[in-house]
Amino acid sequence: MMLQLALIGFGNVGREFARLLLSRREWLRRSEDIDVEVLAIATKRHGSLLSDKALNLERVLHELEEKGTLRGYGPELTELSPLEIIERCDADIMVELTTLNIESGQPAIDHIKAAFRAGMSVITTNKGPLSFAYEDLRGIARSRGAQFRFEGTVMDGTPVFSLVEKTLPGCEITGICGILNSTTNYVLGEMYRGKDMEQALEDAVRFGIAEADPSMDIDGWDAAAKITTLANVLMEAKSSPRRVNRVGIRDLIPEAVTNAAREGRKIKLIAYAERVKGVVKTMVRPELLGPENLFWSVDGTSCAVTLKTDLMGEITVVESNPNLPQTAYAVFSDMVLIADSIKRGVASSS
CA torsion sign for 10, 16, 22, 25 is: negative
CB atoms within 10 A of CB 44: 12
Tell me the β-bridge partners of 284.
246, 271
Candidates 224, 221, 198; CA nearest to 211 is 221
Catalytic residue among 226, 266, 268, 308: 226
The four Cα atoms 20, 33, 76, 52 give a dihedral, to 10 degrees, of -160
67 phi and psi angles, rounded to 5 deg: -115, -15
The verdict on whether 266 is a catalytic residue reads no
Can you say how many angstroms the Cα of residue 125 is from the centroid of all Cα atoms in its chain? Answer: 4
Helix (H, G, I), strand (E, B) or coil at 231: helix
Helix (H, G, I), strand (E, B) or coil at 281: strand
Rg from Cα positions in the chain: 21
CA distance 43 to 228: 27
CA distance 135 to 280: 15
Active site residues: 226
